[in-house]
Amino acid sequence: MAYTSAEARNELLDAFAGAIEHIGLALAALGAAYEQLDEHNADRLEAELFRPIQLAYGRAKATHAQFADRHGLESRPFEAPSPGVPSTGAKGFIDNAVNATAEADGALSALQDSMLPAEVGDVELRAALADVRDLLGGVRRRARELERTLGR
């Protein structure tokens, strides 16, 4: 399908926003897990999972706003989602974060594989997509390593 430049930019912005929402959900879930962990495991969760995802979220939101501004589009606010009920438990919240991160990475990958970033020709956006994906990389492995030590 051939897009006008404006249509391509809007579609790209919407797709990027969807990935950002998944990253926000991962952060909310990790915050809820943090509250249920002992100090040692909470510190590990923060260093190994929360910080990289928080950096990815910040970078993605800033890129979204900058892209919208550069192209005269409306940037949207991103509200903090609810992580769910406390009975989900720390492991459940971590699993939810891993799943949300995988959804975000999949959406970003699909966006990179589409022709939209090339059609739009925005170098900053393409670089940010790669940076955000790098920050999200390894989350599943690090989460599984953390989960193996929970309750010990």
CATH number, position 102? 1.20.1260.10
Residue 22 reports pLDDT greater than 80: yes
- Write the DSSP string, 117-147: HHHHT-HHHHHHHHHHHHHHTTHHHHHHHHH
Range name among 71-80, 83-92, 117-126, 134-143 with the lowest pLDDT average: 117-126
The pTM (predicted TM-score) of the whole model is 0.92
Residue 46 reports pLDDT greater than 90: yes
Residue 152 reports pLDDT greater than 60: no
pLDDT of residue 105: 96
- Check if the beta carbon of residue 67 is closer than 8 Å to that of residue 15: no
**Which range of residues forms the domain containing residue 38?**
5-75+84-149
> Residue 1: exposed, middle, or buried by beta-carbon count in 10 A (0-12, 13-18, 19+)?
exposed
Let me know how long the chain is.
Answer: 152
- Number of domains within the chain: 1
pLDDT of residue 142: 95
